[in-house]
Amino acid sequence: MFHWLEKHPFLFAVGVFVVIAFAGLVEVLPNFAQASQPIIGTKPYTILEYAGRQVYIHQDCNACHSQLIRPFKSSTERYGHYSLSGEYAYDRPFLWGSERTGPDLHRVADYRTIDWNEKHMINPEALVPGSIMPKYPWLYKDPTDINTAYATQVAAAEFFHVPYNVPIPLKNGKTTIIPLAPNLAAAHAMALKEAKAIVDQGSDKTLQEDVAHGKIPQIVALLAYLNQLK
C-alpha cells in the first residue's frame, strides 16, 4: 500500500490533507461551539431593550460605533475587558461594526450613566467639545415600536430557544428571570414599566412626564439598550 502511495504523490497529498483537516475539525469545532455559548451573566434582551436595539440599528449607530473590543492594550485600557464570543449569544444580527468614528460601545454602561447618555443624544458637543456626532432631537418625540420589538422577542424565544421565563445565572451567583409577555397588551405594560425605571435615572422632566402618561419616546428605549451594554 505504501509503495502505491509513493507512486501517486498527488493522491498521497490529498490523503494527508484530508487527515489533517479532519483532525483540525475534531480539535477546533468543540472548542468553538463551547466558546459561543452564553457566558455567565449574559442575559436575553428585555422588551424595551429589544426596541432600543431596533432604534440603534435604524439610526445606523453601528456605522460609527463598534461593539467589539479587541484584545489589544490600547483597546482594553480605554474600553475595558476584550469582548468574548459568548457575550453575543443572543445578538441577531451581530453589531460588531468595523468603523470607530466614535468610541466602542460594547461596555458603555460601565462608564456612562443613563443621565449622561440622555443629555449626550440631544446635544453631543455640550458634553464632548468638538464632537462631530449629530444631534437626535426626533428621538425625544417619536414613539417606540413596541409591537415589532415584541414580535422579535417572541421569534427569538420560539425559533432560537432564547431562555425567557427561566432562571438565568449571574456572575454574583444569583439568578434572574427575563420575562416574555404572554400577549401584546402585556408587552406594552411591561415596556412601560421598564421605561419608568429608565427615565427615573435621568433628569429630563419632559421624558418623565411622557412616560407617566403612557408614552415611550424612542430615546427611552435606546437608553435602555445602551444601559445593558456592559
Q: What is the Cα 109 distance to its own chain's centre?
A: 12
Once rounded to an integer, what is the mean pLDDT over residues 206-217? 97
Residues 114 and 211 in one domain: yes
For residue 217, give the DSSP letter: B
| 62-73 per-position pLDDT tens digit | 999 999 999 999
**Residue 198, in any domain of the structure:** yes
Residues 13 and 110 in one domain: no
Residues 114 and 30 in one domain: no
Amino acid making up residue 160: F
Domain count, the chain: 2
pLDDT, residue 164, reads 97
Q: Please, how many CA atoms are within 13 Å of residue 123, restricted to the half-sphere of its CB?
A: 4
Residues 54 and 18 in one domain: no
**Residue 77, in any domain of the structure:** no
Q: Hey, which bits of 112-202 come out as E strands?
A: 167-169, 175-177
pLDDT, residue 30, reads 60
Residue 49 — φ and ψ, nearest 5°? -65, -40
Residue 90: pLDDT band by 50, 70, 90 thresholds?
A: very high
**Residue 136, in any domain of the structure:** yes
Amino acid making up residue 53: R
* Distance separating alpha carbons of residues 124 and 147, to the nearest angstrom: 30
Is-above-0.95 flag for pTM? Answer: no
Once rounded to an integer, what is the mean pLDDT over residues 155-174? 94
Residues 6 and 53 in one domain: no
**Residue 140, in any domain of the structure:** yes
Helix (H) or strand (E) holding 223: helix 218-227
* Distance separating alpha carbons of residues 169 and 173, to the nearest angstrom: 7
SS3 readout for 154-195: HHHHHHCCCCCCCEEECCCCCEEECCCCCCHHHHHHHHHHHH
Amino acid making up residue 157: A
Instruction: Tell me the CATH number at 156.
Output: 1.10.760
Residues 128 and 220 in one domain: yes
Residues 25 and 120 in one domain: no
Residues 161 and 208 in one domain: yes
First to last CA, the chain: 59
Segments forming the whole domain that contains residue 17:
2-35
What CA dihedral angle connects 50, 56, 60 and 64, to 10 degrees?
Answer: -130
- CA distances (Å), 95 to each of 71, 143, 215, in order? 18, 23, 28
Residues 18 and 53 in one domain: no
Residues 160 and 134 in one domain: yes
Residues 123 and 17 in one domain: no
Once rounded to an integer, what is the mean pLDDT over residues 134-147? 97
3-state secondary structure (DSSP) of residue 211: helix
